[in-house]
Structure 1
Amino acid sequence: MKKLRMICLVSTFLLGLPMLHAQKKNTQVELEVQQPATGLDKSLKRKVAIARFSNETLYGKGIFYDRDHDPMAKQALDILSNKLASTGKFILLERSDLDKILDENDNSNSRFKGTGADYIIVGSITEFGRKNIGDANLISRTKTQIAEAAVSLRLIDVSTGQIIYSEEAKGEAELKSKSTLGVGASADFDISLSDKAISAAISKLVENVINNCMDRPWRAYFLTVDDGNLFVTGGKSQGLAIGQEFIVKEKGKVVKNPQTGLNMELPGKEAGRIKITFTGGDNPESEFSIVEFIQGEIDHSKLENYYIEEIKI
């Protein structure tokens, strides 16, 4: 009888071990979730707005052509947006008024302020054409449809108003059909070749756009001081989390470049370091964070003279 009771007790203990292990594991997970993030999240997202994508070619432009509703320009804009969004490194902003902002007769850097973006992209289709190549002999016939496109992109840094990247690339797409003694595949006009050629050209430029954006330190700006709390731009959608630390810099002196005639800002000097204590907001354009200084201090009456920069490691 004692032996049977001992076997039951051992069995009950062994059966309970997995439950104790699971409870311990769940407790560890909860602690990990509640623990604030420390250090820098390398996936801080940049806010990008595509101001316009125009069609500068004569292809498809008839008497009733509407520049504001160009189908090829719309295709190119959608392709670029999808490629940038698929990287997970950007927040794309919808700003229908950016085209008007860029068309303003104003050479000052301030015309880019208020867009809500870190970078603005301006694109154009500079070349486009289609051609058919055929080869026929006694027993076979071959037909090749070819679409060729050239796309130009400019990347503008909103904080300085300067073009930091500009390049043009070409892309090509083709479709072949072959028949022998009248038997075989035959290809009609394929409108999708236009998309493929434009996509091929844009693909050659996207990596350079990504590198130029990500190689530059992520920046944010002070919003206001309310009830002793310092509010800054940026939130969860950009990758900010409680516990992250950033450098605070005082803006450098603005000087005029005698070669270009444009104003340029000299490098800023470090004024201190901050830590995020709270994040809030409903969408990327209204998100904010509350921070506290862990080193140094700034003049709260002149918040516009400072900016926040990520710590590069």
Structure 2
Amino acid sequence: MRKRLFLIALCLFTFSSYAQDVEQTKALKRKVAIGRFSNVTKQSQSIFYDQESDQLGKQASDILAMKLVSSDKFLLIERQDYDKIANELIQTNRLSDTTSTQIGADFLIIGSVTHLGRKTVGNQKLFSSSIKQEVEAGVSLRLVDVSTGLIVFSGEGKGNSTVQDKKVMGFGERADFDATLTDKAISAAINQLVEEIINKCMDMPWKAYILSEEDGSYILSGGASQGIQVGDKYDILKPGKSVKNPQTGMMIQLPGKVIGELQIDMTFGDTPSTEVSMATLVSGDIQKDQLSKYVVIEKK
């Protein structure tokens, strides 16, 4: 009897320790927005191609969005003005102090379909014939850290998709060109880059921003769907100043300093883009007239 009770207690302790480990290692979801996804293939250069209704770019954007959401590591934020923001990021390589909170995302992905080729190859023998349809696609993606405006990852993936129909002694079906081959080829190209994007995003520290202060409570960006829970504690980071590298002309942000700690009291909001959390200052001191200068980060 004692042995049975001991084993039950041991199992309960093991499960409790496992649950605590899972809780401590939970990953907060990053907010990601897909910006401009353009078609720069040879087909798009035709005078008859309608750039306003670029179906190929939308197709690639939808495939990427589906893969990011299915990874369960991201919240996809949708906005209509990301093209303008993307242009600003690329042109200036830097954001204003308020743009990072206005955009509502941690990372912005800018992509393009760089290549799309189709070909049909036939093989005729004495008693049989076959036709192989093949599509090759190339996709380029750039991952931008919204808080700095810097491109943190850039890569190009290539994918292909084939289908083959065969006839023997004149029998067999001959299929028309398979339109789904384009989807499959683009999906294969994006697959080569998605894992790199996931790893790069998850390797970089999770961030939130202090939006305002009301009667001693601090309102933070982000909520329950991102993984924030009541009782969670986060560090308050005062980022280091930005300096310009004379060799590259790029702005570099010096390491910051943790100056306090916040505890989550409440989360509310209907969608990932409108969710916020209310927190209490547990330790440290915050200058209430300079809230935009602070960043909330995961505790190490």
* Structure 2 CA distance for aligned equivalents of residues 208 and 184 of structure 1: 43
How many angstroms apart in 1 are the aligned matches of 2:237 and 2:164? 58
CA deviations over 1:27-60 (Å, ceiling 9, x no partner): xxxxxxxxxxx96562311111100111100236
Q: 2:185 pairs with 197, 206, 226, which one?
A: 197
SS of 1:217's partner is coil
Aligned-residue sequence identity (percent) comes to 48
CA distance in 2, matches of 1:281, 1:137: 66
Would you say how many aligned residue pairs link Structure 1 and Structure 2? 275
Root-mean-square deviation (CA, aligned residues, Å) is: 1.8
Range moving further from structure 2, 205-214 or 58-67: 58-67
- 1:293 is aligned, of 267, 281, 286, to 281
| Alignment partner, residue 16 of structure 1 | none
Check conservation: 2:135, 2:181, Cα contact below 8 A: yes
Contact 2:240–2:256 under 8 Å retained in 1: yes
The structural deviation recorded for 1:125 is 0.8
Indicate if the aligned counterparts of 1:221 and 1:232 stay in contact, CA closer than 8 A: yes
Deviations 1:164-192 (A, max 9, x none): 00000100000011111101232211111
Q: Tell me, what secondary structure is at the counterpart of 2:43?
A: coil
- Aligned partner of 2:141 among 129, 146, 153: 153
Q: In the alignment, is residue 133 of structure 1 matched against residue 118 of structure 2?
A: no
What is aligned with 1:49? 33
Q: Which residue of 2 aligns with 1:107?
A: 92
The question of whether the paired residues in 1 share the 8 Å contact of 2:37 and 2:113 is answered with yes
Q: Which structure 2 residue ranges, 5 or more long, are not aligned?
A: 1-21
Matched, 1:93 2:81: no
The residue aligned with 1:305 is 293
Letter paired with 2:252: M
TM (norm. structure 2) is 0.87
Return the index of the structure with the highest Cα Rg: 1
Matches within 5 A, 1:115-264: 115-264=103-252
Report the TM-score, using the length of structure 1 for normalisation.
0.83
CA offsets per residue over residues 60-79 of structure 1, 9 Å max, x none?
A: 66443211211111110110
The corresponding residue for 2:51 is 67
CA–CA distance in 2 between the matches of 1:106 and 1:61? 23
Alignment partners' CA distance in 1, 2:289 and 2:156? 45
Paired amino acid for 1:90: F
Superposed displacement of residue 251, structure 1 = 1.2
- Could you tell me which runs of 5 or more consecutive residues in structure 1 were left unpaired when the two chains were aligned: 1-37
